[in-house]
Amino acid sequence: DVKVTQSSRYLVKRTGEKVFLECVQDMDHENMFWYRQDPGLGLRLIYFSYDVKMKEKGDIPEGYSVSREKKERFSLILESASTNQTSMYLCASMGSGRAYEQYFGPGTRLTVT
Amino acid sequence: GQQLNQSPQSMFIQEGEDVSMNCTSSSIFNTWLWYKQDPGEGPVLLIALYKAGELTSNGRLTAQFGITRKDSFLNISASIPSDVGIYFCAGRRTSGSRLTFGEGTQLTVNP
């Protein structure tokens, strides 16, 4: 069974803090993604990675960075959290080849105060 | 990135009714996916479509890949209360691993 886990379901941080969101998948997938989801704006891609140590910017990378040191783990970093980064953060993974099916984790609801 | 046009935005139906929703785009897609998201959870993949004209079922759910490759449809038959949630379409264009998402259809089922 497909499994994507995220380190926290709920997180509250202060403005200016450095925030780490962790995502782990157990499907040996090459591709991993970070999205944020906001009411009225849908799912927006922040960054994705197609291999270990490889990353590409999505549509809204400003204020975020990522790290992929191991195939199964993809981390999203907020260098200096701001209130406009309060959101639902979703991680997804996808194998290579013909099946372009992304599998999502349960999400992390981040609140920056 | 470009959003898919998903409609309707919301639906309020009675238990037992059938439901239809669709996604359209001005661009051609090679893959269509349909997801369901429960409140406070991540989206769960329901159906994946890979060929124009393809019709695929998953229990009471049926989805179709439009012939023009610019649209897709999801039908839910005999709705039940646990069908409540947000349904998203997603499409992949000719290359790459990125998906384009619709804005979702919020489904409410009254018992």
pLDDT per position as a tens digit, B48-89: 999 999 999 999 999 999 999 999 999 999 999 999 999 999
What is the rounded CA–CA span in Å between residue B6 and residue B9? Answer: 7
Using a CB-CB cut-off of 8 Å, the residues of chain B touching A59 are 1
pLDDT-derived band at A26 (thresholds 50, 70, 90) equals: very high
* pLDDT(A97) > 80: no
pLDDT at A41: 84
User: In terms of CA atoms, which chain B residue is nearest residue A44?
Assistant: B1
* pLDDT(B34) > 60: yes
Of A42, A50, A90, the CB nearest to B42: A90
- Counting one residue from chain A and one from chain B, the pairs whose CB atoms sit within 8 A come to 53
pLDDT-derived band at B96 (thresholds 50, 70, 90) equals: confident
pLDDT at A12: 98
What is the rounded CA–CA span in Å between residue A40 and residue B29? Answer: 23
Report the mean per-residue pLDDT for chain B.
93
For residue range A40-87, list pLDDT tens digits in order.
888 999 999 999 999 999 999 999 999 999 999 999 999 999 999 999
Residue among B47, B25, B34, B8 nearest B93 (CA): B25
Residue among B110, B109, B103 nearest B8 (CA): B103
Q: Test A102 with B103 for CB contact under 8 angstroms.
A: no
Tokens of A92: 């997804």
pLDDT at A98: 64
pLDDT at A95: 85
Q: Test B31 with A100 for CB contact under 8 angstroms.
A: yes
Burial B15-45 (b: 16+ CB within 10 A, else e): eeeebebbbbbeeebbbbbbbbbeeebbbeb
* pLDDT(B2) > 70: no
